[in-house]
Chain A
């Protein structure tokens, strides 16, 4: 075990003067060997900029980056590149080359690596070896991109928004590929704005907003720390004579840690549903209100993000 990705006080500023934008704003990160680490955040949070700095494709404005204990630009870049693979958010390959031809091309850049056919089999594209890229579906193209990332048999793999734009079935196939990589002990850093993906695939997740990490832990710990165990969503009708219900009317119920107004009513965080719900029902009837809707669900990373920022992941 050891730290594979390390960065400290990373910043990236675009433009200057009044128009300067800080895409990354003091970001610290440490990813350990064999870990699947997720950067979770809305579009524009600085995930891609961060990843491209880590990959050595962009220079940071300030800060320190080390991969495998080696910093970029010290004459040892080749050594790092030989050991890493990546998919970019939206790179496309030659439309009129076959999958096998593309893998053979990329394989030639690495000293050691997989047979191109084997890389295709890893992502279940063996049957498409001779098919041209332009005849692949979106999900197949994405898996081809992963095969290209794997053909140098890397220890570290960067996946930037790997499932954006894929249909649910293609996403599940993709998750299988990542699960397989994890079981082979590869270190993976992936960015996503899908909370279910991060929750399912990642050992640890960093929530990124406005170019910095606002929370970092395993998905389970993040959820229990910031979102409680359960979310109770409900809406209430009042006939007007008993006052309009507001969130603070429910925040003091037993086992409830907080209550917020959401678009269709209220959303309440509760550690023990079997105590919180009877308390809620009692409060509603006490005030002469009527309960319109009541659902409960387990809290997820989206709730963590809402708790931390007051915004939804996909607001932007």
Chain B
């Protein structure tokens, strides 16, 4: 294909137009980077979070404080009973301990909150030991926070998937609707340009942009947080490319009829919403009930993120990811063919 081929020229025009939009560049690169850095810091697991305990001041409070001091697993606040209860209601503390005059300790906490249940168990354990409990089994705790199993490691492939989805759908959808509004599509229809050439070029543009979109995130996460890249780079690139093309196809379909920026914005948000929610960007998609799993697993983003996690974090080889690749190809292929049929040029 020489440099004067219509597809090459259309892709060049798209790339030039895009690189000259500073806002678009920020939303594609800056925003996901901020997200990975922000979330990486917020969910930093190198030190466990302390348990927040309020101790009601009274006759026995000194003993509780003494029992817990020197243990940096607890952060202790002596408070009056009213203040402590208010702090509990406002979620400023996880548990309130009150030792009454009869020597009974009362714990106030919300059992529906997993953090509070953990706090209760840890606090009770520490106090029972301080009061003289002897454990029949001796144990040793060995903390393991190896790279690859932390939250930030889990997060990065999810964000890459989300970024490729956003790039594909916004990139393709917006560009085409903008061209339709400007009547540029109609103008091109008046030339000997073949219709599929424009649609292929739009998708081809994504085949160029997915590379920086993916690597900027992956490399930054690797350098700042030591997120490991276990699998082969080639496998990662292949999966990201297939994912990217699949979402470009969906973007094309979304843009095939929309006449206004407002309508394409609505259509894209509606399409992406279930995937933001269910596809396992921020927490595992396996957490959804079994009845929902067929739907969740059929979403292209779920499959893209599954495959990226498997290759990046577990280092599995590409052939084991045939199912995700097939699902992504089916979404992309069917969307493209439908878009060819439905596409409105005028």
Q: Which residues of A contact B (CB under 8 A)?
A: 55-58, 78, 81-82, 84, 86, 88, 90-94, 96-97, 101-102, 104-111, 132, 148, 152
* A57 and B184 contact, CB distance less than 8 A: no
* B6 and A82 contact, CB distance less than 8 A: no
Confirm or deny: B186 has a beta carbon within 8 angstroms of a beta carbon on chain A: yes
| Cβ of B166 to closest chain A Cβ, rounded Å | 21
How far apart sit A55 and B8, CA to CA, in the bound complex (Å)?
26
CB-defined contacts of A104 to chain B, threshold 8 Å: 9
Q: A97-B13, A101-B13, A108-B9 are in contact. Are A57 and B193 (CB under 8 A)?
A: no
Chain B, residues 9-25, CB within 8 Å of chain A (1/0): the string is 11011001100110000
* A91 and B184 contact, CB distance less than 8 A: yes
Q: Which residues of B contact A (CB under 8 A)?
A: 4-6, 8-10, 12-13, 16-17, 20-21, 182-184, 186-193, 346
| Cβ of A81 to closest chain B Cβ, rounded Å | 4
Question: Which residue of chain A is the closest to B345 with respect to CB atoms?
Answer: A57
* B16 and A55 contact, CB distance less than 8 A: no
* B192 and A81 contact, CB distance less than 8 A: yes
* B187 and A88 contact, CB distance less than 8 A: yes
Q: A55-B190, A57-B346 are in contact. Are A96 and B5 (CB under 8 A)?
A: no
Could you list 27 examples of A-B contacts with CB < 8 Å? Answer: A55-B190, A56-B190, A57-B190, A57-B346, A78-B192, A82-B192, A88-B190, A90-B183, A91-B186, A92-B182, A92-B183, A93-B182, A94-B13, A94-B184, A101-B13, A105-B9, A105-B13, A107-B4, A108-B5, A108-B10, A109-B6, A110-B191, A110-B192, A111-B192, A132-B20, A148-B187, A152-B191
CB-defined contacts of B9 to chain A, threshold 8 Å: 104-105, 108
CB-defined contacts of B346 to chain A, threshold 8 Å: 57-58
| Cβ of A77 to closest chain B Cβ, rounded Å | 8
Q: A55-B190, A91-B182 are in contact. Are A108 and B17 (CB under 8 A)?
A: no
* B191 and A106 contact, CB distance less than 8 A: yes
How far apart sit A91 and B21, CA to CA, in the bound complex (Å)?
21
How far apart sit A209 and B184, CA to CA, in the bound complex (Å)?
28
| Cβ of A67 to closest chain B Cβ, rounded Å | 12
How far apart sit A82 and B346, CA to CA, in the bound complex (Å)?
20
Contacting residue for A57 out of B12, B182, B186, CB 8 A: B186
CB-defined contacts of B16 to chain A, threshold 8 Å: 96-97, 101
CB-defined contacts of B6 to chain A, threshold 8 Å: 108-109
Extra contacts besides A97-B17, A106-B191, A108-B4 (6): CB < 8 Å: A57-B190, A88-B186, A92-B182, A105-B10, A107-B4, A148-B187
How far apart sit A24 and B28, CA to CA, in the bound complex (Å)?
47
How far apart sit A106 and B6, CA to CA, in the bound complex (Å)?
8
* A91 and B187 contact, CB distance less than 8 A: yes
| Cβ of A262 to closest chain B Cβ, rounded Å | 38
Contacting residue for B190 out of A86, A94, A107, CB 8 A: A86
| Cβ of B251 to closest chain A Cβ, rounded Å | 18
The 8 A-B residue pairs with the shortest CB-CB distance, nearest first, are A91-B183, A108-B9, A96-B20, A109-B191, A81-B192, A92-B182, A109-B193, A91-B187
| Cβ of B26 to closest chain A Cβ, rounded Å | 16
**What DSSP secondary structure best describes chain A's contact surface?**
loop
CB-defined contacts of A107 to chain B, threshold 8 Å: 4
Question: Which residue of chain A is the closest to B189 with respect to CB atoms?
Answer: A57
Question: Which residue of chain A is the closest to B179 with respect to CB atoms?
Answer: A94
* A96 and B187 contact, CB distance less than 8 A: no
Question: Which residue of chain A is the closest to B181 with respect to CB atoms?
Answer: A92
Question: Which residue of chain A is the closest to B20 with respect to CB atoms?
Answer: A96
* B4 and A109 contact, CB distance less than 8 A: no
How far apart sit A84 and B189, CA to CA, in the bound complex (Å)?
12
CB-defined contacts of A101 to chain B, threshold 8 Å: 12-13, 16
* A92 and B192 contact, CB distance less than 8 A: no
Question: Which residue of chain A is the closest to B7 with respect to CB atoms?
Answer: A108
Question: Which residue of chain A is the closest to B191 with respect to CB atoms?
Answer: A109
Contacting residue for B183 out of A56, A88, A106, A109, CB 8 A: A88
How far apart sit A81 and B190, CA to CA, in the bound complex (Å)?
7
How far apart sit A107 and B190, CA to CA, in the bound complex (Å)?
13
How far apart sit A305 and B219, CA to CA, in the bound complex (Å)?
71
| Cβ of B8 to closest chain A Cβ, rounded Å | 8
Question: Which residue of chain A is the closest to B9 with respect to CB atoms?
Answer: A108
CB-defined contacts of B182 to chain A, threshold 8 Å: 91-93
How far apart sit A154 and B10, CA to CA, in the bound complex (Å)?
21
CB-defined contacts of A81 to chain B, threshold 8 Å: 190-192
Question: Which residue of chain B is the closest to A104 with respect to CB atoms?
Answer: B9
How far apart sit A31 and B16, CA to CA, in the bound complex (Å)?
40
CB-defined contacts of B20 to chain A, threshold 8 Å: 96, 132
How far apart sit A96 and B188, CA to CA, in the bound complex (Å)?
18
| Cβ of A78 to closest chain B Cβ, rounded Å | 5
Q: A57-B346, A92-B183 are in contact. Are A109 and B192 (CB under 8 A)?
A: yes
* B17 and A94 contact, CB distance less than 8 A: yes
How far apart sit A62 and B119, CA to CA, in the bound complex (Å)?
80
CB-defined contacts of B189 to chain A, threshold 8 Å: 57
| Cβ of B197 to closest chain A Cβ, rounded Å | 9
CB-defined contacts of A92 to chain B, threshold 8 Å: 182-184
How far apart sit A3 and B8, CA to CA, in the bound complex (Å)?
37
How far apart sit A147 and B175, CA to CA, in the bound complex (Å)?
24
| Cβ of B14 to closest chain A Cβ, rounded Å | 9
CB-defined contacts of B4 to chain A, threshold 8 Å: 107-108
How far apart sit A91 and B189, CA to CA, in the bound complex (Å)?
12
How far apart sit A109 and B184, CA to CA, in the bound complex (Å)?
14
* A96 and B192 contact, CB distance less than 8 A: no
| Cβ of A59 to closest chain B Cβ, rounded Å | 11
How far apart sit A96 and B6, CA to CA, in the bound complex (Å)?
19
Which of B4, B5, B16 has the most CB atoms of chain A within a 10 A radius of its CB? B16
CB-defined contacts of A109 to chain B, threshold 8 Å: 6, 188, 191-193
Q: A105-B10, A108-B6 are in contact. Are A96 and B17 (CB under 8 A)?
A: yes
How far apart sit A132 and B188, CA to CA, in the bound complex (Å)?
19
How far apart sit A110 and B4, CA to CA, in the bound complex (Å)?
10
